[in-house]
Structure 1
Amino acid sequence: MASKWSKYGKRYCKEWEKETQLKDWLRPVTGDDKNAACRYCKCEIRAHHADLLQHMATEKRVRNSRPLSSARLTTMGFTKSPPPKTTPELELKLACYSACHATINSVDHLGELVQPHTACGVKLHRTKCGALITKVLAPCLLEDLVKDIGASQYSLLIDESTDVANEKQLAVVVRYFSTSLNKLVTTFLGLFTLEGSSAQQIAQGLLDFLTKVGLDFTRCLGIGTDGCNVMVGKNNSVYTHLRQKNENLVLVKCVCHSIQLCASKAVEVLPRSLEFLVGRSYSWFSHSSLRLHEYSKLYQLINNGKEPLKLVQLSGTRWLSISSCCKRILEQWDELKLHFTLCKDKYRCYDAEILSEMYKDPVNKLYLVFLNPVLHRALEFHELWNNIELWNSMKSFSPECILSQAKPPHQDVPLLKLFKGDIGLLDTQYRQLCFLPWKNVTKNDIASFWVEVLHFTDASGERCFKELAEFALSLLSLPLSNADVERVFSHMNLVKSRLRNRMRNEMLSAILHVRYGLRFRGVCCRDFEPTSKMM
């Protein structure tokens, strides 16, 4: 009885070209699917798998393949290509790139573009990419951060905001001294959705979050917030609830927010017309390229061809932004006055008429001339009176003071009440520190001085000032403002935008962990190397 192959015949199979022992020399025959070709011997073989294996072992094929072997190519000046990366490693790198610079949906096309050019068979689409970001990259980077913090004392910066999906988010930023990097580090710790806006709910949510990531709240030295009542009120605030868990917790109000509030209250005594002048001058040009072009031609005619600088938009919540607005308007006052005088008759616009009259009034210019240096000074203001006692106490740990022979005894240093350890040992180190020569004693880099003290060893190889140096470095981790947590919200709005408003909080937090985790390591996606735990 004849077999089925004698009736139908066997055909060339493309899958044979993927086999390790056949892929180097096996090729199809054009127009004939019943035979296969050997590119070494320049001959045809019947398209039977057994015949192909038999031809591979012949002396003729082995002899013809020697000039094209990898060793022969190396001696002829060709170099062997590096071994391809493993599939998980390459997929993690692509997922890391997506979290840093692209959207998750774009991975559907990116994976298909990369797949033909890789030998390891990458298969990556948005579902798998999202899982790699949320389940592998972000948890591992967060674990590395918590491990780096260890048992060190740290400070927290917290603030709440509402994203584009009207969900209340609480961002948490940690500031601590990293013993592995030998420097103070301020980085993103986490982001979670608030279940309510009360002080107790915010405080409990923060404590639950710290427990979840594995940080001991009793090691928290200070907390930085803005000046709203729910955060810093005397009776029922987030700070008072947290103080019940950590009685030595130091509160640091944000300097920037306090200055904004002071400026906002101060300008209430000024005429409201000033805000109208600054705001409407910007909006006059912001939505009309024709008006901007006409003003540019007028400005160039007056100023010998120079291009005018654009006016600055006035922020509704950051009143100190009027400083740059006033400065820009004063620099172009005469040109703007002439422009609105011409536009008043040309466009017959009520706003142009009002602005023209205001620019002609010298009192308005006098107000702006008065405000310009005052607001500029406010922008340079970096001290808050409520925290002045705290920063004065920290002077005791400056190199100039602590190395002085006339320094006060440790009992007179107020911040020593925050030290948790052997006070007698700390007193001994405090008194002996001034008897040794130190290199990094500059006023501008106190952290370098204490890093040198931390790593100083005696004849027996022990770090004899370890406790004092670690305590001083933990004090330096106290936050000055919550500008870093505001930057987190800027990143949050870039990631969860109006076009991506359905993004879940888990994915949003994971993407921020990846971005800040790479910044913490000092690398970007092209330099990122997955760890063994990620693999």
Structure 2
Amino acid sequence: MNSKNEDDPERARTSESVKRRRGENSKKLEHKKQKFRNHITAICKVAFDDSKIASGINLGRTKATSIVKNVIGKNHSEEIANILKSTYFSVIIDESTDVCDSKSANEGATAEKIFDELLKAFNESEIPLDNIIGFASDGCNSMMGAWNSVSSRFKEHMPGVYIQKCICHSWHLCSSSACKTLPRACEDLARDIFNYFKSSSKRISHFRGFQDFCNVSPYQI
């Protein structure tokens, strides 16, 4: 087999490509994406063993996180701030799932606190508040209440701002209400399928292999 590869450069390159992909996929299945950074340099050194640059790379999880946070992240933040300084834009606020241990709005997610943090972020980046022309959020009281909310504070400080409840949240509420008319078994089946694949890289890998075998478009669970 080796002699054939040596006689056929194209076949040799294909073989090496397959080995690299196999190694990459094995690491992806073995480790979560967040921890994959610790192994990418080792993969590069094996995949590109003739490269002096690859052999000299040392990039662990801590260093990669620091680069993303303090270099790439800051650079993108500055680019976005420069754009917002010279154009009109709207603000959309929503709660997000965060697994980090950094405190955010630690004094409570009140309307006053959220609005103050928002203004603080714009002022620190020297973004003119006059450039804000719209605000959208879900319909909770802290965001869209008539008197003591983020939207009421927008109206008070920026009278010309257009206020809009997020259409995606409205669609979600409508869909959720409509689903109540369906049999409970339908929702249970959908949840069971999701939970079956959710925490198992092996099952997801088997599912992808099954889709390839059936020659169907890949779907992500």
Scaled to the shorter chain, the TM-score interval is 0.5 to 0.7
* The one of 130, 136, 144 aligned to 2:71: 136
1:193 is paired with a residue whose SS is coil
- Partner amino acid for 1:118? S
Task: Indicate if the aligned counterparts of 1:220 and 1:249 stay in contact, CA closer than 8 A.
Answer: yes
1:115-514 aligned within 5 A? 115=45, 116-120=49-53, 121-163=56-98, 193-195=104-106, 196-258=108-170, 260-261=172-173, 275=180, 278-283=183-188
2:109 is paired with a residue whose SS is coil
1:111 to 2:41 alignment: yes
Q: Matches of 1:282 and 1:239 in 2, distance apart?
A: 35
Identity rate of aligned residues, in percent?
A: 25
Task: Indicate if the aligned counterparts of 1:221 and 1:250 stay in contact, CA closer than 8 A.
Answer: yes
* Structure-1-length-normalised TM-score: 0.26
**Per-residue deviation at 1:158?**
0.9
Task: Indicate if the aligned counterparts of 2:138 and 2:169 stay in contact, CA closer than 8 A.
Answer: yes
Q: Matches of 1:282 and 1:263 in 2, distance apart?
A: 13
Q: Matches of 2:121 and 2:190 in 1, distance apart?
A: 47
**Per-residue deviation at 1:203?**
0.7
- Partner amino acid for 2:94? D
User: Which structure would you say has the larger RCO, counting Cα contacts within 8 Å and 6 or more residues apart?
Assistant: 1
Q: Matches of 2:175 and 2:36 in 1, distance apart?
A: 45
**Per-residue deviation at 1:104?**
4.5
Q: Do the aligned partners of residues 201 and 285 (structure 1) sit closer, same or farther apart at CA in structure 2, a change above 3 Å counting?
A: closer
Task: Indicate if the aligned counterparts of 2:93 and 2:136 stay in contact, CA closer than 8 A.
Answer: yes
- Partner amino acid for 2:169? H
Q: Matches of 2:139 and 2:57 in 1, distance apart?
A: 51
Q: Matches of 1:283 and 1:232 in 2, distance apart?
A: 33
Q: Matches of 2:137 and 2:186 in 1, distance apart?
A: 35
More helix, by proportion: 2
Q: Matches of 1:285 and 1:224 in 2, distance apart?
A: 31
**Per-residue deviation at 1:228?**
1.7
Task: Indicate if the aligned counterparts of 1:111 and 1:124 stay in contact, CA closer than 8 A.
Answer: yes
Q: Do the aligned partners of residues 124 and 226 (structure 1) sit closer, same or farther apart at CA in structure 2, a change above 3 Å counting?
A: same
Q: Matches of 1:114 and 1:260 in 2, distance apart?
A: 44
Q: Matches of 2:118 and 2:173 in 1, distance apart?
A: 26
**Per-residue deviation at 1:212?**
2.9
1:160 is paired with a residue whose SS is coil
Q: Do the aligned partners of residues 280 and 148 (structure 1) sit closer, same or farther apart at CA in structure 2, a change above 3 Å counting?
A: same
Instruction: Give the aligned length.
Output: 160
Q: Matches of 1:111 and 1:276 in 2, distance apart?
A: 52
Q: Matches of 2:171 and 2:69 in 1, distance apart?
A: 39
2:91 is paired with a residue whose SS is strand
**Per-residue deviation at 1:140?**
0.8
Q: Do the aligned partners of residues 105 and 218 (structure 1) sit closer, same or farther apart at CA in structure 2, a change above 3 Å counting?
A: same
**Per-residue deviation at 1:283?**
2.9
Q: Do the aligned partners of residues 285 and 146 (structure 1) sit closer, same or farther apart at CA in structure 2, a change above 3 Å counting?
A: closer
1:223 is paired with a residue whose SS is strand
C-alpha RMSD over aligned residues: 3.6
Q: Do the aligned partners of residues 281 and 215 (structure 1) sit closer, same or farther apart at CA in structure 2, a change above 3 Å counting?
A: same
Q: For structure 2, which runs of at least 5 residues remain unmatched after alignment?
A: 1-31, 200-221
* Structure-2-length-normalised TM-score: 0.58
2:35 is paired with a residue whose SS is coil
**Per-residue deviation at 1:137?**
0.9
Q: Do the aligned partners of residues 263 and 280 (structure 1) sit closer, same or farther apart at CA in structure 2, a change above 3 Å counting?
A: closer
Q: Do the aligned partners of residues 250 and 129 (structure 1) sit closer, same or farther apart at CA in structure 2, a change above 3 Å counting?
A: same
Q: Do the aligned partners of residues 241 and 140 (structure 1) sit closer, same or farther apart at CA in structure 2, a change above 3 Å counting?
A: same
1:251 is paired with a residue whose SS is strand
- String of CA shifts for 1:311-366, please: whole Å, max 9, x gaps: xxxxxxxxxxxxxxxxxxxxxxxxxxxxxxxxxxxxxxxxxxxxxxxxxxxxxxxx
Q: Do the aligned partners of residues 216 and 123 (structure 1) sit closer, same or farther apart at CA in structure 2, a change above 3 Å counting?
A: same
- Partner amino acid for 1:119? K
